[in-house]
Amino acid sequence: MIKSKIFTDGFCLETDEIKLRPSKMEDLEAFLSISSPPIWTHMSQDLENPSDWEKFLSQTISDRENQIKQEFAIILKEEDRIIGATSISQISEVDNKVEIGLTWISEKYQGKGINQKVKGILLTFLFEELKINKVEFRTRGDNLKSQRALNKIGATKEGVLRELIFRNGKYIDVVYFGILASEWKNIKRRGAL
Whole-number mean pLDDT of the chain? 91
DSSP sequence for 43-106: SSS---SHHHHHHHHHHHHHHHHTTS-EEEEEEETTTTEEEEEEEEEEEETTTTEEEEEEEEE-
Report pLDDT for 188. 92
Tens-place pLDDT, residues 60-79: 999 999 999 999 999 999 99
Query: Which run of H or of E encompasses 23?
Result: none
Report pLDDT for 125. 97
Report pLDDT for 33. 87
pTM of the full structure: 0.91
Report pLDDT for 84. 93
* Residue 49 scores a pLDDT above 90: no
Report pLDDT for 47. 67
Structural domains of the chain sorted by starting position, each given as residue range(s) with its CATH number in brackets: 2-190 (3.40.630.30)
Q: Among 78, 145, 144, which Cα is nearest to 110's? A: 145
Tens-place pLDDT, residues 4-44: 889 987 899 999 999 999 999 999 899 888 876 555 555 56
Lowest mean pLDDT among 15-24, 26-35, 127-136, 148-157: 26-35
- Rounded to the nearest 10 degrees, the angle between the axes of helix 114-124 and helix 181-190 is 140
Report pLDDT for 163. 97
Share of the chain above pLDDT 70, in %: 93
Helix (H/G/I), strand (E/B), else coil: 144: helix
